Amino acid sequence: MAYPVIVSRAVDPILGVFTGCLAYYLYETNPRNTLPSDRRLAPLVQWKWATWQAKRLEKLHNE
């Protein structure tokens, strides 16, 4: 069974990622949601990145 292709095999994943990012951006900036600043995506990614870097440095120093 062949799956339907909207634009092309190469552009469909890009379109999907773009649509998802746009939807999340609109969700975060919608005044009805009023997410606290520490619950937005950018601070959460920064926290996760800092945690990963700290664990990585600890692992490298222990070797």
Please give the average per-residue pLDDT across 23-29, as a whole number. Answer: 93
User: pLDDT: is 29 or 7 the higher one?
Assistant: 29
Cα 44 to the chain's mean position, in Å?
Answer: 10
User: According to the model, what pLDDT value does residue 27 have?
Assistant: 93
pLDDT category of residue 25 using cuts at 50, 70 and 90: very high
Which amino acid type is present at position 38? Answer: D
pLDDT category of residue 59 using cuts at 50, 70 and 90: very high
Q: What's the rounded Cα separation, in Å, for the pair 33 and 29?
A: 8
Closest among 18, 40, 38 to 28, alpha carbons compared: 40
Please give the average per-residue pLDDT across 44-57, as a whole number. Answer: 96
Overall pTM > 0.75 = no
